[in-house]
Amino acid sequence: MRYADLHQRSITDPNGFWMEQAQAIDWVTPPSKALFDEHAPLYEWFSDGMVNACWNALDRHIEAGNGDRIAVIHDSPVTNSITKLTYTEMRDRVAALAGALAAKGVTKGDRVIIYMPMVPEALMAMLACGRLGAIHSVVFGGFAAHELAVRINDAQPKCIIAGSCGIEPGRVVAYKPLLDGAISEATHKPDFTVILQRDALHADLVAGRDHDWAEFVRDAKPADCVPVEGNHPAYVLYTSGTTGQPKGVIRATGGHLVALQWTMKNIYDVDPGEVFWAASDVGWVVGHSYICYAPLIAGNTTIVFEGKPVGTPDAGTFWRVISEHKVKSFFTAPTAFRAVKREDPTGAFVGKYDLSCLKTVYLAGERADPDTIVWAQDQLKVPVVDHWWQTETGWPMAANPMGVEALPIKLGSPAVAMPGYDIHVLDEGGHPVSAGTLGAIAVKLPLPPGTLPTLWNAEARFRKSYLEQFPGYYATGDAGYMDEDGYVYIMARTDDVINVAGHRLSTGAMEEVLASHPDVAECAVIGVADDLKGQLPLGFLCLNKGATQTPENVVKDCIKLVRDQIGPVAAFKLAVVVDRLPKTRSGKILRATMAQIADSKPFKMPATIDDPIILDEIATGLKSLGYAKG
Ligand code: COA
Ligand code: AMP
C-alpha cells in the first residue's frame, strides 16, 4: 500500500483505521469504538475498552511462547557492565515489585514518582505501575531537588521509587540527598519510598519511610495485571512550558498501546525479536515511548544505555553497542551525532565495527541540521531519517514510514504527517498558508490515539495552551512550513521554550530562578545558537540600585542558583549584567530580537521598541560573552 493512501484513510475514517490497529493489542474487553468525541474539543480513544499496559508489554509475549527472548539489554559503559533480561525475567521482577507496592497500598489511580538513572529497574518500576493501574511520573535525573518538589506537589504520589545515584562521566550523582531535599521542600509527602541501592554509592535510608528495593521485593507476592479503562492514565510526564510550573502531559493507556504498536513496524521497521535502540533517557518522552513501552509492546529487544555518545569511553561507543547487540534501528538526537562528529570527524571509530546489522537511523528531539545528517549518512551508509514529535504527542507527528514505504529523504525535513495527524501551517489569523510559506504548525483535531487528552490537574491550561489559539486545531508550539509534497519543515518554537542538547527547557522557568536573587531587579533568558547543543540559555541581568554584590558575583550566584534549582541539565553557564532590557512600549521584553543579535542574524528593528539605543548595550554585553560577532 502507498503510504499516502494509508494516511488519507486514517484522516477520513479514523474509527475504522484505529479499530483495525487496535486488533494488534490484547484487550480484556475490546473497545466498542475508537474515537470518543462527545466532549469535543477534548477527545478520547478506546475509552470503554479494558486493557493492561504491562500485560501487553511483557506477559503476552510469554504466553505466545517467547518468554526466553531478550526483552532488555542494559549496556552500561559507566559501570563497565552488560546485563540481559528475558521477557520472563522482566515479568517476574515486575510482578514482584508490583506485588510489594500493592502490599503497601499502591492501587489503581495512585501516582508513583520514579527518579532513576538508566538502569533496567527504571523500566521495571514503570511497568510495575502499569501492572497495578497506578500512574507513574518519571522525573529526569538531571533535574534538581526543587524541580522534583514541584512535580511531587502536582502529582501527589503515594510512593517515590528512586536510585541511590546516577553516574555521569567523572562523577557519581547522589540522588538520595536530592530526593530528601525535594520531599522536605514539597508540601505533599509520599507515604514511602523504594531505593535501588547501587554499588557506586549506597544511600542512607530514613527508617520507616525508605525501603531498600532488594528487601522490599524479597518476599513479595507477585501481582497480576489489573485491567484499566482505555482512557485511564498510564502516566503523567512533566514537560517545560512558558512558566516555572511544568505541564503534566497525560498519556491514556489504550491509545498509547495501539499507537506505539503501530509505529514499531511501520515507522521504525523492526519486527518482533529484532533489536531496537533509542539512545535517550527514561526521563524524556523518547525514553518512555521508545526505550520502555513501544519496543516491549511490539516484542522487540530494547537497549537501556547508561553512557554518553563521547567519553564513555570514546566516540566509538554508539558503534560498539550497535555492532555488539545487533541493533537494526537506532534512534538518537542530532546533538549526540554532533558530539561524535566533533571528536571523530573522519569516522575512524566507525571503521572498527561491523555495522552490517544496522538498517536505519532515526533522529529527533531538535532540528536535524543537514550537515549532521549528511555526515551520518556518509559514515554509516544507511538512511538517516529525521522525525518530529513532542512530549505531548508521545509518538511521531511527522516521519518517514520506513516499514510501509521508504519515501525520498529531503534534507532539513522530518518528512510527512503520520497517521491521524492532519498537519496544517496557519497564519496569525488561523488561516492556512500556501506551500513554502512560514507559519504556526497546527494539527487539525482530533489528534490521533496516544496523544495527550489533557493536562494533569490543569484542563483550563490545556485548552489555553493548545486549543484556543486556533479553534479546531492543536497548536504544536512549533513554526515552519510545508512543501508541495506535504513534507514539513520545523524551523523554530513560537514560545519561550528552548532546546538544549535535545532537552526541552523553559526560559521562563530560568527567569523565575534568576529573579529570586536579591540583587536582580529584572532579567531575561534567551536561547543562543550553539554548534554542539543546538541552543544554550543566556541570561541578561539588571541589578537593583544599591546591589550588595559586584556584577561578577551576581553572575556567579545566578549560574549556581539555576544549577541548584533546576539542575545541571539546564546547562545555564552564560549570563551578563546590563543596565536595561529592550522592551516594546507596552513593556514586553524583546527576547526574539536579542536572540537574533546574539546569533548575528539580520533583524528588523521592532516598530514598537521603546528605546532602540538599548539594543547597542545588549550587543556589547553579548560580545563580552563571545556572541553578537557582527
Ligand atoms: N543526571 C545528572 N546529571 C545529568 C544527567 C543525569 N541524568 N544528564 C545530564 N546531566 C548533567 C551533565 O553531567 C552535565 O553536567 P555538567 O554541567 O557538570 O557537565 C549537564 O547535566 C548538562 O548535560 P548535557 O546537556 O547532556 O551535556 P553534556 O556536556 O554532558 O553532554 C551531549 C553533551 C551532546 C553528549 C549530551 O547532551 C547528549 O548525549 N545528548 C543527547 C540528548 C538526548 O538523547 N536527548 C533526548 C531527546 S531524544
Ligand atoms: P520534547 O517535548 O522534549 O520532545 O520537545 C519537543 C520539541 O522539540 C518540538 O516541539 C520541537 O520544537 C523540537 N523537535 C523535536 N523533534 C524535532 C525535529 N525532528 N525537528 C525539529 N524540531 C524538533
Judged by its nearest atom, the ligand closest to the C-alpha of residue 285 is: 2
What pLDDT is recorded for position 461? 97
Q: In the Cβ-directed half-sphere of 218, how many Cα atoms lie within 13 Å?
A: 5
Taking CA atoms only, the protein residue closest to ligand 2 atom 23 is: 366
The CA 500 to ligand 2 mean position distance, Å, reads: 11
Cβ–ligand 2 distance for 499 under 6 Å, the answer yes
**Dist. CA 584–CA 611, nearest whole Å:** 8
Q: Which fold has domain 3-423?
A: Rossmann fold (3.40.50)
What pLDDT is recorded for position 608? 83
Residues in the chain, pLDDT under 50? none
What pLDDT is recorded for position 611? 86
The CA 479 to ligand 2 mean position distance, Å, reads: 11
Judged by its nearest atom, the ligand closest to the C-alpha of residue 497 is: 2
The CA 569 to ligand 1 mean position distance, Å, reads: 6
What pLDDT is recorded for position 20? 98
- Best residue among 138, 140, 286, 367 to mutate for probing ligand 2, ranked by most atoms within 8 Å of CB: 367
Q: Is the peptide bond before 446 cis (omega within 30 degrees of 0)?
A: yes
CATH class of 497-624: alpha beta
Q: Which triple of cell numbers denotes residue 494?
A: 513560537
For residues 432 and 472, the answer to whether their CB atoms sit within 8 Å is: no
The CA 166 to ligand 1 mean position distance, Å, reads: 12
- Best residue among 239, 569, 572, 573 to mutate for probing ligand 1, ranked by most atoms within 8 Å of CB: 569
Kindly give the pairing relationship between strand 416-417 and strand 398-399: antiparallel
- Best residue among 168, 367, 533, 535 to mutate for probing ligand 1, ranked by most atoms within 8 Å of CB: 168
What pLDDT is recorded for position 29? 98
For residue 455, the one-letter residue type is L
- Best residue among 361, 490, 494 to mutate for probing ligand 2, ranked by most atoms within 8 Å of CB: 490
What pLDDT is recorded for position 235? 98
Cβ–ligand 1 distance for 267 under 6 Å, the answer no
Do the domains at 3-423 and 497-624 have one common CATH topology? no
The CA 476 to ligand 2 mean position distance, Å, reads: 10
Judged by its nearest atom, the ligand closest to the C-alpha of residue 282 is: 1
For the CA of 310, the nearest atom of ligand 1:
35
Q: What is the pLDDT of residues 238-276, one digit of tens each?
A: 999 878 889 999 999 999 999 999 999 999 999 999 999
**Dist. CA 148–CA 159, nearest whole Å:** 13
Q: By C-alpha distance, which of 396, 456, 390 is closest to 250?
A: 456
Strand, helix or coil at 92? helix
Q: Which triple of cell numbers denotes residue 26?
A: 490484547
Cβ–ligand 1 distance for 534 under 6 Å, the answer no
The CA 296 to ligand 2 mean position distance, Å, reads: 24
- Per-domain residue ranges for the chain? 3-423, 497-624
Taking CA atoms only, the protein residue closest to ligand 1 atom 44 is: 280
The CA 75 to ligand 1 mean position distance, Å, reads: 18
What pLDDT is recorded for position 607? 82
What pLDDT is recorded for position 470? 98
Taking CA atoms only, the protein residue closest to ligand 2 atom 14 is: 366
Cβ–ligand 2 distance for 366 under 6 Å, the answer yes
The CA 613 to ligand 2 mean position distance, Å, reads: 35
Cβ–ligand 1 distance for 282 under 6 Å, the answer no
The CA 392 to ligand 2 mean position distance, Å, reads: 10
Sequence-ordered alpha helix ranges (H) in 347-419:
370-380
Taking CA atoms only, the protein residue closest to ligand 1 atom 32 is: 336
Cβ–ligand 1 distance for 119 under 6 Å, the answer no
Cβ–ligand 1 distance for 335 under 6 Å, the answer yes
What pLDDT is recorded for position 260? 98
Q: Which triple of cell numbers denotes residue 276?
A: 531496537
For residues 173 and 209, the answer to whether their CB atoms sit within 8 Å is: no
For the CA of 567, the nearest atom of ligand 1:
21
Q: Which triple of cell numbers denotes residue 53?
A: 499496559
Question: What pairs with residue 439 in β-bridges?
Answer: 480
Q: Which triple of cell numbers denotes residue 300?
A: 522487540
**Dist. CA 294–CA 300, nearest whole Å:** 8
Backbone angles phi, psi at 531, to 5 degrees: -60, -35
Q: What is the pLDDT of residues 43-73, one digit of tens each?
A: 999 999 999 999 999 999 999 999 999 999 9
What pLDDT is recorded for position 629? 86
Q: How far is CA 437 from CA 89, 426, 474, in A?
A: 53, 9, 19
Taking CA atoms only, the protein residue closest to ligand 2 atom 1 is: 390
Cβ–ligand 2 distance for 281 under 6 Å, the answer no
For the CA of 387, the nearest atom of ligand 2:
19
Q: What is the pLDDT of residues 104-153, one digit of tens each?
A: 999 999 999 999 999 999 999 999 999 999 999 999 999 999 999 999 99
The CA 503 to ligand 1 mean position distance, Å, reads: 9
For residue 338, the one-letter residue type is R
Q: Is the peptide bond before 313 cis (omega within 30 degrees of 0)?
A: yes
The CA 575 to ligand 1 mean position distance, Å, reads: 20
For residues 418 and 401, the answer to whether their CB atoms sit within 8 Å is: yes
pTM metric for this prediction: 0.96
